A and B are shown apart, each in its own frame.
Chain A
Amino acid sequence: MDQIIGNIGLLFEFPVVNLKILLDGIMIGALFALAAYGLALVWGVMNVKNLAQGDFVIAGGYVAWTLDQNGIHPFLGIPVAFIVMWIIGWITYKLVIKRVIERDLFTSLLATFGLAIMFAQILNLMFGSDTQSIQLDMPTLYFADGFIDVPMSKLVGVVTALCLAFGVILFMKRSRMGQAIRATAQDARAARVLGIDTDKVYAFTFSLNSAICGAAGAIIVMAWVIQPFYGITYSIRAFVIVTAAGLGNLPGVIAAGLGIGALEQYGSHIFGIGYQQAIAVLLLLLVLFIRLLQQRRKRQVLQ
Chain B
Amino acid sequence: MKTLRNLGVSVVAATAMFGATSVMAEDCETITLGAAISLTGKYATNGVHAKNGYEYAFQKIKENGGVKIAGKCYNFSTIYYDDESKGDRGATLAERLINQDKVQYMLGPYSSGLTKAIAPVTEQYKIPMVEAEGASRSLFNKGYKYLFAVLSTSEQYLASAVTLAAEMAEKEGKDAKSVKVAIAVENDPFSLDIRAGVKEDAEKYGMKVILDEKLPRDLSDMSAILTKVKLLKPDVLVVSGHSKGAATAVRQIGEQRINVPMIAVTHCEAADVVGNFGKSANDILCSTQWAETLSYEDELFGTAAEYEQGFKEAFPEYTDKTVPYQVAQASAAVYVFKDAFERAGSLDKEKVRDAIAATDLTTFYGQIRFSENGNNIAKPMVLRQIQDGKYNVVAPSDFASHKLNWPRKPQ
| A-to-B contact residues, CB < 8 Å | 3, 7, 10, 13-14, 17, 20-21, 24, 28, 121, 124-125, 128-131, 133, 135, 140, 142, 146-147, 149, 151, 224-227, 229-230, 232-233, 265, 268-269, 272-274, 276-277
Contacts and interface: CB of A to CB of B under 8 A. Distances in A.
Interface in B162-221: 184, 187, 212-216, 218-221
B64 interface: no
Interface of B: 3, 40-45, 85, 184, 187, 212-216, 218-225, 227-228, 230-231, 243-244, 247-248, 251, 255-257, 270-272, 276-278
Contacts of B256: 149
A133 B257 contact: no
Given A125-B40, A131-B247, A149-B255, A273 B224 contact: yes
Contact of B43 (A14, A129, A276): A129
B185 to A, nearest CB: 10
A7 B222 CA distance: 15
A225 B223 CA distance: 13
A265 B224 contact: yes
Contact of B243 (A131, A146, A265): A131
Max chain A C-beta neighbours (<10 A), residue from B45, B256, B270: B256
Contacts of B277: 135
B155 to A, nearest CB: 20
B213 A225 contact: no
Max chain B C-beta neighbours (<10 A), residue from A10, A17, A276: A276
Contacts of A151: 255
B218 A229 contact: yes
B251 A225 contact: yes
A19 B215 CA distance: 23
A273 B225 contact: yes
Contact of A149 (B44, B243, B257): B257
Given A24-B223, A130-B270, A269-B224, A142 B251 contact: no
B210 to A, nearest CB: 9
Nearest to B278: A135
A135 B276 contact: yes
Given A129-B41, A224-B221, A147 B230 contact: yes
Given A129-B42, A230-B218, 11 more contacts: A129-B41, A129-B44, A130-B271, A133-B247, A133-B251, A147-B230, A227-B244, A265-B223, A273-B222, A276-B216, A276-B224
A21 B230 CA distance: 13
Nearest to B259: A146
A28 B252 CA distance: 14
Contact of B44 (A28, A124, A140, A276): A124
A274 B231 contact: no
Nearest to A146: B257
A233 B220 contact: yes
Contact of A230 (B41, B43, B45, B220): B220
A274 B216 contact: yes
A7 B228 contact: yes
A129 B45 contact: yes
A272 B44 contact: no
B243 A273 contact: no
Nearest to B187: A274
B221 A3 contact: no
Contacts of B225: 268, 273
A225 B227 contact: no
Max chain B C-beta neighbours (<10 A), residue from A17, A147, A274: A274
A124 B43 CA distance: 10
Contacts of A147: 230
5 contacts: A131-B243, A149-B256, A151-B255, A273-B184, A273-B213
A272 B244 contact: no
Contacts of B251: 133, 135, 225
A255 to B, nearest CB: 21
B246 to A, nearest CB: 9
B255 A140 contact: yes
Contact of A10 (B219, B231, B257, B272): B231
Contacts of A7: 228
A20 B213 contact: no
B213 A272 contact: yes
A28 B243 contact: no
A130 B187 CA distance: 19
Contact of B224 (A227, A229, A268): A268
Contacts of B184: 273
B229 to A, nearest CB: 11
A124 B218 contact: no
Nearest to B216: A274
Given A130-B270, A131-B271, A133-B251, A28 B214 contact: no
A129 to B, nearest CB: 4
A14 B233 CA distance: 14
B227 A277 contact: no
A225 B45 contact: no
A276 B218 CA distance: 10
A129 B243 CA distance: 9
Max chain B C-beta neighbours (<10 A), residue from A125, A146, A149: A149
A73 to B, nearest CB: 17
Q: Which 7 A-B pairs have the closest CB atoms?
A: A274-B214, A131-B244, A268-B224, A129-B44, A131-B247, A269-B224, A224-B220
Given A135-B278, A273-B225, A17 B220 contact: no
